Each structure stands twice: as C-alpha cells, then as structure tokens.
Amino acid sequence: MNKIAIIIGSTRPGRKGKVIGEWVYEIANQRSDADFEIVDIADYDLPLLDEPMGAASGQYTKQHTKDWSKKIDTFDGFIFVKPEYNHATSPALKNALDYLYKEWNNKAAGFVGYGSAGATTAVENLRMIMAELQVADVRAQVRLSLFTDFENFNAFKPASYQEKSVHAMLDQVIAWSSALSVLR
C-alpha cells in the first residue's frame, strides 16, 4: 500500500497550514487505498540550506538533513499544503525541498494551496520545482481562498465542495504513486 505524506509547507507563526493539513488528513483517512501521515517541516527545524555538497550527491553531513532524508525516503507520494507568498511557494518549503534530491525522485505530488486566489500562482511555481526533482505532479489540486474558505480571513471553514476536490487530488496522487513504483 502506498504511503503518502501530507507535508505542512509553512513554519510561519500563526500559519494556517497546520489546520488545513489536519483537515486533509481527516479526509484522507476515510480512504483505504493508501496510508497517510502528516509531516510538518517545522518539526525538523531546518536552517537555511547548510550542507556543503549539493543534494544530488546524497552526501549529507548534518544530522537534521539525515533525519529529513530518512523521513522523506519512506514515502511514495506527497500532498503539499502550502501558502502563497508573493506568487511563490513559501521559503521554508523551498528550503526543505532543496535539502534532498533522490528522496523525492519518481514519486507523485498533489497540492493544497491557500491564499487570496487559492495559491494558484504559487502552485505553478512549485510545479517547476517538482519537475527538477523528478516528481510527477498531478493536475487536480485544491484551491482554498482566504475570502471564501476562511471566516474573517482567520478561522478555517472550507466550502462544502472542497472535500470533493481533496478526493479528486488524492485519487490522482495514489494512482500515480502506484504507477511510479516500478521506477522506485
């Protein structure tokens, strides 16, 4: 059975990603076609990339990188729960992605974006990064708007149709994770 990480892609104080990630996890756990786990990059306390060698070498010298590598390597696919900062992905998520290379390869990814316009531009930014990391990103994505899925831009109250969007994305991530298993 595929193992899918739901990665909380922000470390910012007051972030909305954690509650959104827990919501995605609750929906995902209604399914029996994969195992899901929340992975919060804040728990890994990754400093600004500090490895002396490029990630493609796999020669990690720092314990935090080795721990991050060990965790990410266990997954077959990923759901990135990510905010939009200035039309791009969060710096914390970009940093966490840059620490590793082979651990991401030949796996599938889906996106749950949140921001004023559902983080659409930030997801497109992240798709380019996924291509370089040899991650197959799926078309279906969840677009959460600060205007319609949050009360007073703060309390998370997703529109009822959003659960269907989560399932559509999960369907694709699980299918692609299975298909890519021959390459892993």
The rounded average pLDDT for each run of 10 residues, N- to C-terminus, in the chain (184 residues) is 97 95 98 98 97 97 98 98 95 98 98 94 96 98 96 94 98 98 96
Token pair in block for residue 147: 């205007």
pLDDT of the residue at 20: 98
- Cα(38)–Cα(50) distance, integer angstroms: 25
Q: How many domains does the chain have?
A: 1
The pLDDT assigned to 125 comes to: 95
Using an 8 Å Cβ cutoff, are 148 and 54 in contact?
no
53-76 residue pLDDT tens: 999 999 999 999 999 999 999 999
Please report the pLDDT score of residue 104 as a whole number: 98
Q: CATH no. for residue 124?
A: 3.40.50.360
Q: Could you list the residue range(s) of the whole structural domain that residue 91 is in? A: 2-182
Q: Which residues does 153 contact at the CB level (< 8 Å), separation at least 6?
A: 146, 147
What's the confidence (pLDDT) of residue 134? 98
| Per-residue pLDDT at 74 | 98
For residue 119, the model assigns a pLDDT of 95
Q: pLDDT value at position 166?
A: 98
Taking the C-alpha atoms of residue 171 and residue 174, their distance in angstroms, rounded to an integer, is 5
